[in-house]
Structure 1
Amino acid sequence: MSLRFRRSMKLMPGVRLNFSKETVGLSFGVPGARYTINSKGRRTVSTGIPGTGIYNVETLSSGTRSRRSSAAAIAQETETWQAPPAPGLFARKPERELNKFLLDIYNSDHRDDPSSVIEKANALKELYPELKYPLDLISFLHGATDEKWETDVAKWGATLWEQRDAAFSNKYVLKYFKGIKPGVTISPGITTQLHYNVQTLGFIWSEILQSLKKYDDAVAVLMQIEPDQMVGISLADIEISVGDFDGAIETTEDIEVFDDATAMMMVLRGVAFRGKDMHEAAIECFKRALKQKQMPEALAHRALFERGVTYGLMGKKAMGVKDLEKILVDNPDYPEVEKKLAELKK
């Protein structure tokens, strides 16, 4: 089956982000009057009568989510490390020591625990204050994977986010961080695949704020990073968390499933419809998401779980049991699946 490559995401009232295969664009206005500009410089104005399909386009120029710890949002294999570039023949001592530090903590034969990494980073920072930004970013990243560092990580995150431009323009960060690729779980079933940059820091910090139930602050962070599918997923997830189901439905409107991210957005759309007791609409969303071929197991399980729960609410217990038992075949430890099965089998 062929699916058109198109997606659109609400950023704020009256402003939407539009994607196509070649471009990304912003659209401003209200139904019946919109101004659009895309990444290729094409600007258009559309006017018309909403609901009629009559428009004139002028080209001007060519579930509810349960609270989880911040540590759970960072993948256990936090870093995919590529060998760092050589410091260079004339590199100064601080850079050489940073290079040694990275080779040590990302040694393929062993991985230091977060406390050990943070201890080594602090010791090195005392010797070479100019390494502050790369070492603080490393400490924050590793501390975020361990709940015992939760209080410190919250402080570090606030500071680093405020200083993010300076941190990621640091010469050592620019040179050595391209091989560090944290896995950040934006929503159960979908994980970022970016190197450690401002975008990744924003996602990690937003997840930490959500774990602290500071949802408004988490949204504010997301609105300050480059808008993409992952931002849309995270926004919809937050809206569901706070019971803003209408907001989540609006955030995920005009979605067509063509990859893992859009499949996840369709799942969240289904969860939002379920939150409004619109169960048939929810089931249709889950069905569309599950049509995505070769999706990751975690994403397929999320869609099956949400559909199974919805079937249960509709009184279709046998169908709900069937979906949930499919998950058990691959992952008997999937959160809450045993509990939901027991409820459906009563």
Structure 2
Amino acid sequence: MGQPDYASLVRIGAEYPPARPLAALLEVTLVSVPAGDMKRSRELLTWLFRTGYDPVQDDFVKKYLPAASFTLPIADGINVQLPPDRSYIGLLLGEIYQVTGDLSSAIEVVEQLEPSTVTAVSLAELYAAQGRWQDVVELTEALTNADEASTYLLTQRGVAFREQGYFEAARESFREALRIRSRPADLRHRTLLERGLTYMREGKRSMARKDFERVLAENSSYPGLRDLLSNTQD
């Protein structure tokens, strides 16, 4: 069986209006995003989001694509598998806005989605990019290390506390983020690096060096690590 003609999705949507939303979603997911066409992807997703289209209510999706899911990178080191639903549309649109530098629009979209750990990860990254540290703290309140997403959020919470000058609170968040040793190495390394930077801000260079060397022991080519280590020397 040959590769489907995904380019024909545009024609299908134009000729059969009831199929237009699903055709647009499939075009974004299978054609424009893989091709790096951010302009077309943004246009289609903006239209889909504004119409309120939810694929889980689409009869075709319910009948023929009940188990469909797509991989979506929502933050550095965090990839999630999501069903084609309204949250997927919003998160993907938010990612495209972020890639194109429109952080305010990205936040506006993601804030409208149903609250979840996944949407919290996206918002935490966006808030951090704008330096909205108190928003990050409020977003991550009462969080425990339940999964990879919450590990990321705890690290972001620690960064937010550090940037506000609350170093002990920051270290408590990093400690909780590191509590589960089976988390992916990239997440642990990021947390260790951020905790090391916190120690540096406190003037505790020997403690910072210990965290940096923990990363060094597992990934000696971690970007920027050698420079950080050199800053810990007397």
TM-score (norm 1): 0.57
Q: Tell me how far 1:266 sits from its aligned partner.
A: 1.5
In structure 2, what is the Cα distance between the partners aligned to 1:335 and 1:139?
Answer: 36
Q: Does residue 197 in structure 1 map to residue 66 in structure 2?
A: no
Amino acid corresponding to residue 217 of structure 1 in structure 2: S
Matched with 2:127 is 239
Check 1:298–1:162 CA distance in 2 against 1; reply closer, same or farther (3 A cut): same
Q: Tell me how far 1:240 sits from its aligned partner.
A: 1.8
Q: Tell me how far 1:343 sits from its aligned partner.
A: 4.3
Matched with 1:259 is 147
CA deviation string 1:144-180 (max 9, x = no partner):
345x412222222212222342655333333344444
How many residue pairs were aligned?
230
Residue 216 of structure 1 aligns to a residue whose secondary structure is: helix
Q: Tell me how far 1:329 sits from its aligned partner.
A: 4.7
Q: Tell me how far 1:339 sits from its aligned partner.
A: 4.5
Matched with 1:30 is none
Structure 1 residues 204-213 or 281-290, which shifts more? 204-213
Matched with 1:161 is 49
Q: Does residue 326 in structure 1 map to residue 214 in structure 2?
A: yes
CA contact (8 A) 1:266 1:288 kept: yes
CA contact (8 A) 1:270 1:281 kept: yes
In structure 2, what is the Cα distance between the partners aligned to 1:267 and 1:177?
Answer: 36
Residue 253 of structure 1 aligns to a residue whose secondary structure is: coil
Q: Does residue 273 in structure 1 map to residue 161 in structure 2?
A: yes
Q: Does residue 144 in structure 1 map to residue 33 in structure 2?
A: yes
Q: CA RMSD in A?
A: 2.9
Check 1:136–1:287 CA distance in 2 against 1; reply closer, same or farther (3 A cut): same
Structure of greater relative contact order (alpha carbons < 8 Å, 6+ residues apart): 1
In structure 2, what is the Cα distance between the partners aligned to 1:242 and 1:151?
Answer: 23
Q: Residue 313 of structure 1: which of 201, 205, 215 is its match? A: 201
CA deviation string 1:190-229 (max 9, x = no partner):
3323222211121111122223333332222223222111
CA contact (8 A) 1:239 1:247 kept: yes
In structure 1, what is the Cα distance between the partners aligned to 2:220 and 2:192?
Answer: 14
Amino acid corresponding to residue 11 of structure 2 in structure 1: E
In structure 1, what is the Cα distance between the partners aligned to 2:219 and 2:49?
Answer: 36
CA contact (8 A) 2:54 2:86 kept: no
In structure 1, what is the Cα distance between the partners aligned to 2:21 and 2:72?
Answer: 20
CA contact (8 A) 2:69 2:82 kept: yes
Check 1:183–1:340 CA distance in 2 against 1; reply closer, same or farther (3 A cut): farther
Check 1:249–1:125 CA distance in 2 against 1; reply closer, same or farther (3 A cut): closer
Matched with 1:283 is 171
In structure 1, what is the Cα distance between the partners aligned to 2:169 and 2:72?
Answer: 29
| Structure 1: gaps (5+ residues) | 1-99, 106-119
Check 1:127–1:261 CA distance in 2 against 1; reply closer, same or farther (3 A cut): closer
Check 1:323–1:161 CA distance in 2 against 1; reply closer, same or farther (3 A cut): same
CA deviation string 1:59-117 (max 9, x = no partner):
xxxxxxxxxxxxxxxxxxxxxxxxxxxxxxxxxxxxxxxxx77xx36xxxxxxxxxxxx
Q: Does residue 122 in structure 1 map to residue 44 in structure 2?
A: no
CA deviation string 1:18-67 (max 9, x = no partner):
xxxxxxxxxxxxxxxxxxxxxxxxxxxxxxxxxxxxxxxxxxxxxxxxxx
Q: Tell me how far 1:337 sits from its aligned partner.
A: 3.6
Larger proportion of strand? 1
* Higher gyration radius (CA): 1
In structure 1, what is the Cα distance between the partners aligned to 2:214 and 2:72?
Answer: 26
Larger proportion of helix? 2
Matched with 1:5 is none
Q: Tell me how far 1:278 sits from its aligned partner.
A: 2.2
Q: Residue 295 of structure 1: which of 175, 183, 192 is its match? A: 183
Q: Residue 182 of structure 1: which of 59, 67, 70 is its match? A: 70
Check 1:333–1:176 CA distance in 2 against 1; reply closer, same or farther (3 A cut): farther
Check 1:342–1:126 CA distance in 2 against 1; reply closer, same or farther (3 A cut): farther
The percent identity for this pair of structures is: 27
Check 1:282–1:255 CA distance in 2 against 1; reply closer, same or farther (3 A cut): same
Amino acid corresponding to residue 299 of structure 1 in structure 2: L
In structure 2, what is the Cα distance between the partners aligned to 1:249 and 1:206?
Answer: 21
TM-score (norm 2): 0.81
In structure 2, what is the Cα distance between the partners aligned to 1:176 and 1:302?
Answer: 41
| Structure 2: gaps (5+ residues) | none
Residue 277 of structure 1 aligns to a residue whose secondary structure is: coil
Q: Tell me how far 1:335 sits from its aligned partner.
A: 4.4
CA contact (8 A) 1:178 1:196 kept: no
Amino acid corresponding to residue 33 of structure 2 in structure 1: A
